[in-house]
Structure 1
């Protein structure tokens, strides 16, 4: 499951066992036990909204907005088109006194899969921003919620969407009989908790939203983080080629399109060495940040350019040789890896030159009995088990999740006037995620979906963004995926890239959040103008 859980993503396997998630699940069970036995999902069958007003100051300019917190009800397809399947929660921000048909609109979501979108909402682009420590554990409550000077409302109206089953979103099984309801809920999970089912649900939500708020003629954007980038590739293809919705742009943060490039668990896929090659620059960046290199470079980016050349050249060739690699050459490669990662030469030799993400996180700071972060390797925390091979938790999640949980639960009820007597789930209760895509089994790869969308809509622009300190979805892997999209060379010009000295959740580093905002706002401005 480690390979799937990528939310600003954010390791649901870790949070699902946290005290917060446990309390949410317990509250949900109590809620279900006391609900109307005759119609347990009755409250979910009708869309709901709560409208409020507010303002945010971005770059010294005040923006007045109307906020809508609410739900839309999704339905089945074909002969089941009248059968409700899910109630999806969203928070939309509309700039006042703007012309809806000309004002850009951006649909934002985190990953997981099955994550709520509290992270992008409260950490990145909503009108209020959670304050957390830069690379250390944020102290306990009371926490701070401030005006977000990097809110994207200066460039676009915003719609933050919680995945089905997460946040206030819920699957619907409209059956009175408990046995039939349980069977129907099982079917809902099998359908929606899957690569294609999830994307279809988001596509239906977006088209409903465009109709409800008269936004069909607005410039339209998708913004996905982590698994949300995987979703965006499939979703954009569905919108373009099944629903005939042209998008102006797709914005990808902390991308993973091909799971064969993941540094999480490559040891279970022997013979495929690409993940080790693509993760090496991130390992080097992390060692640079923590001053674990034998010789500290003067600057990060020139150093990473050097590591990238080594990774794609000598290192890749050495791994390709496998058992045929000469001992002297293996020793030389191990010594070069030591120079770039700070890991001991003997450790690298025992690892056969192949270090997974979990091994690196556990080993880099081992002399101090500390574990480096996965989603943001700038963070570190005491090792749960100093003798373990892999890291046992992610210090970033432990550092910031309680702040987001507390402040969103307060904000949504006090400011947005929604959610009384409801439980907000950080993650959906997903036992298994259906990885079959477009009828194919095997490692998930949605590069073809994005390529198809770009070919059938050659005006579509893509902005790829990410952090140098992201071990979960290494930046060099994202660059590799973009360079290998099956598209004509002429369409490569439609792709822009921006990288920041931050982790998976780029916005957790305030200077990087400002740069991310500026890059995204410029991208939207330039791609939403009339020709």
Structure 2
């Protein structure tokens, strides 16, 4: 899940006027004999809407694609929704999108950011309450500049393993990426789009997946070259960001997000978010990092100076920071920042606040920025897929589910498998594809994937920085829940695609 002064300048696009034509009957799976696997189920419907100021007629294909073993036996059904502008232009850009988790369906980007319809939940960090939730036209969809394919990896959405295939065969960084890359190749075959400009995008763990899929698509001689990768709420270096005792880097990377949060809730004072987090960046990577690396050799005077600055940026008392030995885990921060008000702050989006069972303890009961949105999205994808897209199925749509245990190994030896970092896949892709560009979108109030951690991961050796674009938003992990930031995100990515 930016700048306060910029908020007023972010104009929200005019409402879309969609004219959904429901004259297409849903396709159903072929009849099957006992023990046989049914043919892929699909539904095709035709629609029209206004996106990015342009009227677009498009076809929606909601359905399954079978991944097969070498002997032709279907192993998994990947559910996707493809939105294709009418006219069948083989050179029109196409963008493949997914969410993260791992275990999350693509509902969030689909019904929140880039689909032709979206669920309208409160934009100002309030709870989404109870149904009905409005499902409205989305003028911020990217259909004016690119076709879009929303992908649900195995174990998410309506996607599942078939026959005797163990779903755990797909539960891992590399195995998951291979299956998504295989789906993309099959999709390009079916739709004749091999020579079209191609974009790949993910949110949260979906950015991890995007890096791993990039490696699968471009890391061999049978390349599927990409024009761009969209990283939304980025997590690439799991070692640096691990909240585990002894890892000093995670504390450094969290400080700017703590600063933004403290400022938002009135626990810090500054003229602008952007200016304050830049000060926090410099403090974190300079005096603060130096102090942490000295460990118990840190002198009394230097400790006092760092503690005072840390209090200024985090909004926490020096007494608390001293007891925490200058190292504040995010979960403690969520509980402590607004303890005097009886409130906790969110993990996915720290603009959200919640009320716990009591105000004692050091960790919140739950994340108010997740339970503040999940009801609306779950209702929206089920209603939209079954009623508007006419996809008939008895399966439950898995918004976020169990896909474990997850195999985090990425190969290359023990160290690679212990210190999981897929950022080098991005660097390799940039070095070996001169036309590849990277878009990075980050919310200031996101503790799940802090913006400074994304900057750190993408500024290491071997990472050409001239083709990496950063954009920031005055919201959290799912920046598109805020109306102004959804419009800005749409404009930013639309411009990114047009720059090719």
The TM-score with structure 2 as length reference comes to 0.90
Which residue of 150, 156, 161 maps to 2:140? 150
Would you say the 8 A contact 1:500–1:506 is kept in 2?
yes
Which residue of 115, 118, 122 maps to 2:104? 115
Structure 2 match to 1:139: 129
Q: Residues 157-236 of structure 1 correspond to what in structure 2 (within 5 A)?
A: 157-172=147-162, 174-175=163-164, 184-185=165-166, 188-189=167-168, 191-236=169-214
Would you say the 8 A contact 1:69–1:416 is kept in 2?
yes
Q: Residue deviations 1:211-235, cap 9 Å, x none? A: 0111111100001111011111111
Q: Residues 394-409 of structure 1 correspond to what in structure 2 (within 5 A)?
A: 394-409=367-382
Task: Give 1:75 deviation, angstroms.
Answer: 2.1
Structure 2 match to 1:382: 355
Alignment of 1:410 with 2:383, yes or no, is yes
Which residue of 474, 480, 494 maps to 1:507? 480
With 370-379 and 455-464 compared, the bigger mean Cα shift is at 455-464
Structure 2 match to 1:54: 47
Tell me the distance in 1 between the aligned counterparts of 2:436 and 2:380.
36
Tell me the distance in 2 between the aligned counterparts of 1:407 and 1:461.
33
Structure 1 match to 2:116: 127
Which residue of 447, 464, 468 maps to 2:423? 447
Tell me the distance in 2 between the aligned counterparts of 1:81 and 1:438.
27
Structure 2 match to 1:362: 335
RMSD: 1.6
Task: Give 1:371 deviation, angstroms.
Answer: 1.3
The ranges of structure 1 where at least 4 consecutive aligned residues each deviate by more than 4 angstroms after the TM superposition are none
Which residue of 450, 475, 479 maps to 2:455? 479
Tell me the distance in 1 between the aligned counterparts of 2:156 and 2:43.
19
Which residue of 95, 104, 108 maps to 2:93? 104
What is the aligned residue count?
A: 465
- Distance 1:384-1:454 versus aligned 2 partners, 3 A rule: farther
Which residue of 339, 342, 365 maps to 2:315? 342
Specify which structure has the higher proportion of helix: 1
Tell me the distance in 2 between the aligned counterparts of 1:379 and 1:149.
26
Structure 2 match to 1:277: 252
Tell me the distance in 2 between the aligned counterparts of 1:235 and 1:404.
26
Tell me the distance in 1 between the aligned counterparts of 2:469 and 2:334.
30
Tell me the distance in 2 between the aligned counterparts of 1:195 and 1:419.
31
Which residue of 82, 86, 90 maps to 2:80? 90
With 438-447 and 135-144 compared, the bigger mean Cα shift is at 438-447
Task: Give 1:524 deviation, angstroms.
Answer: 0.7
Structure 1 match to 2:68: 75
SS in structure 1 of the partner of residue 131 of structure 2: coil
Q: Residue deviations 1:169-198, cap 9 Å, x none? A: 0012x24xxxxxxxx52xx40x21001000
Task: Give 1:265 deviation, angstroms.
Answer: 2.3
- Distance 1:131-1:317 versus aligned 2 partners, 3 A rule: same
Tell me the distance in 2 between the aligned counterparts of 1:48 and 1:215.
22
SS in structure 2 of the partner of residue 432 of structure 1: coil
Tell me the distance in 2 between the aligned counterparts of 1:397 and 1:457.
38
SS in structure 2 of the partner of residue 107 of structure 1: strand
Task: Give 1:369 deviation, angstroms.
Answer: 2.1
- Distance 1:374-1:209 versus aligned 2 partners, 3 A rule: same
Tell me the distance in 2 between the aligned counterparts of 1:87 and 1:197.
15
Would you say the 8 A contact 1:226–1:254 is kept in 2?
yes
Tell me the distance in 2 between the aligned counterparts of 1:410 and 1:204.
29
Would you say the 8 A contact 2:346–2:368 is kept in 1?
yes
Which residue of 257, 271, 279 maps to 1:306? 279
Task: Give 1:52 deviation, angstroms.
Answer: 0.2
Would you say the 8 A contact 2:52–2:142 is kept in 1?
no
Tell me the distance in 2 between the aligned counterparts of 1:253 and 1:278.
17
Tell me the distance in 2 between the aligned counterparts of 1:320 and 1:117.
40
Task: Give 1:98 deviation, angstroms.
Answer: 4.8
SS in structure 1 of the partner of residue 435 of structure 2: coil
Alignment of 1:254 with 2:230, yes or no, is no
Tell me the distance in 2 between the aligned counterparts of 1:474 and 1:266.
16
The TM-score with structure 1 as length reference comes to 0.85
Structure 2 match to 1:289: 264
Alignment of 1:244 with 2:226, yes or no, is no
Task: Give 1:38 deviation, angstroms.
Answer: 4.8
Would you say the 8 A contact 1:385–1:392 is kept in 2?
no
Task: Give 1:237 deviation, angstroms.
Answer: 1.2
Q: Mind listing any 5+ residue stretches in structure 2 that lack a counterpart? A: 2-31
With 57-66 and 473-482 compared, the bigger mean Cα shift is at 57-66
SS in structure 2 of the partner of residue 106 of structure 1: strand
Would you say the 8 A contact 2:344–2:356 is kept in 1?
yes
Would you say the 8 A contact 1:362–1:383 is kept in 2?
no
Would you say the 8 A contact 1:165–1:427 is kept in 2?
no
Would you say the 8 A contact 1:164–1:428 is kept in 2?
no
Would you say the 8 A contact 1:331–1:349 is kept in 2?
no
Would you say the 8 A contact 1:254–1:465 is kept in 2?
yes
Task: Give 1:395 deviation, angstroms.
Answer: 0.6
Tell me the distance in 1 between the aligned counterparts of 2:283 and 2:113.
34
